[in-house]
Amino acid sequence: MTLPGKVTIYEVGPRDGLQNESALVPTHVKAEFVRRLLAAGLPVVEATSFVHPEWVPQLADAAELMAELGEAGRDLPVLVPNERGLDRALELGLKHIAIFGSATETFAQRNLNRGLEDQFAMFEPTVRRAREAGLDVRAYVSMCFGDPWEGEVPIDQVVEVGKRLFDLGAGQLSLGDTIGVGTAGHVTDLVEAFVAAGMDRDHLAMHFHDTYGQALANAYSALQAGITTFDASAGGLGGCPYAKSATGNLATEDLVWMLTGLGIEHGVDLTQVVTTSVWMAGKLGRPSPSAVVRALAESPA
């Protein structure tokens, strides 16, 4: 068995992590969160989302946050739901955007207010204009393993939706286990199905949630399948405001601990990320759900 020698961690804490918090986090705290994560060596930090404030009020300060981050913020990816979100990203001179599609009809209706088929018509002009402006585009597809309303999602359905989103002009496709029901065998089958459909493993990323405690096992399975990009959230923050059964993301610290133990290069300073997550937990008023954060934070000096 050969595992990858190097992995890229795509940090989603400031966006996917904070969007599900009940309390509004001040803009300057978010900016400091982003800066600390970058200083810890995380190569990609997704900063925020240009969604309508009524949808996700926790991220209503997206423009203010990017302005506070200054020039460094231009290199950070942001989520855009449609052309209006893209317009805001272009106005700020940002270089990287992400779109967020759904593998199921019900979640597309709830999250996008569009049908499964209609989402492609919405995203096509967004991606086309972004590419014409020289922006890098990432595509997320959610509910790849299970949907709280529809149950298990057929693999061929996930592959069809994912490839169509990617083929709009994305450079990478992130496969999301939005409610954390995936298992290691399912991960293998899904990756192999995408490869059989013509997708390059280098164009795939995995986005796991730890609802059933399977995120690390699933990440290991994805490593075995040749995946080298993993989404993770500092301290295990996160969820989804449109799927209440979606709990925290795979914790960055837990992933880093495993990768280090496997001898896989990742470039992240674990101590700095743990310190950052402890700091953010203090701002949120509750402990981090990350096992590694709890273990290291409680270790005697």
Confidence (pLDDT) at 1: 66
Confidence (pLDDT) at 21: 84
Architecture of domain 8-298: Alpha-Beta Barrel (3.20)
Predicted model pTM: 0.95
> Has 240 been annotated as catalytic?
yes
For residues 229 and 8, is the Cβ–Cβ distance under 8 A?
yes
Confidence (pLDDT) at 242: 46
Confidence (pLDDT) at 112: 86
Separation CA 139–CA 127 (nearest Å): 9
pLDDT tens string 159-208 = 999 999 999 999 999 999 999 999 999 999 999 999 999 999 999 999 99
Catalytic annotation, pick one of 191, 240, 246, 250: 240
Confidence (pLDDT) at 301: 43
- Encoding tokens for residue 145? 């393993």
Confidence (pLDDT) at 240: 52
Nearest of 112, 122, 60, 67 to residue 93 by alpha carbon: 67
Confidence (pLDDT) at 20: 84
Separation CA 177–CA 32 (nearest Å): 28
* Beta carbons within 8 Å of 282's beta carbon, 6+ residues apart: none
Nearest of 194, 146, 145, 156 to residue 172 by alpha carbon: 194
**SS3 of the chain:** CCCCCECEEEECHHHHHHHHCCCCCCHHHHHHHHHHHHHCCCCEECCEECCCCCCCHHHCCHHHHHHHHHHHHHHCCEECCCHHHHHHHHHCCCCEEEEEEECCHHHHHHHHCCCCCHHHHHHHHHHHHHHHCCCEEEEEEECCCEECCCEECCHHHHHHHHHHHHHCCCCEEEEEECCCCCCHHHHHHHHHHHHHCCCCHHHEEEEEECCCCCHHHHHHHHHHCCCCEEEEEHHHCCCCCCCCCCCCECEHHHHHHHHHHCCCECCCCHHHHHHHHHHHHHHHCCCCCCHHHHHHHHCCC
Confidence (pLDDT) at 159: 98
**What is the CB neighbour count within 10 angstroms for residue 282?**
11
pLDDT tens string 266-288 = 999 999 999 999 999 999 998 89
Which parts of the chain sit beneath pLDDT 50? 241-242, 245-246, 301
Q: Where are the domains of the chain?
A: 8-298
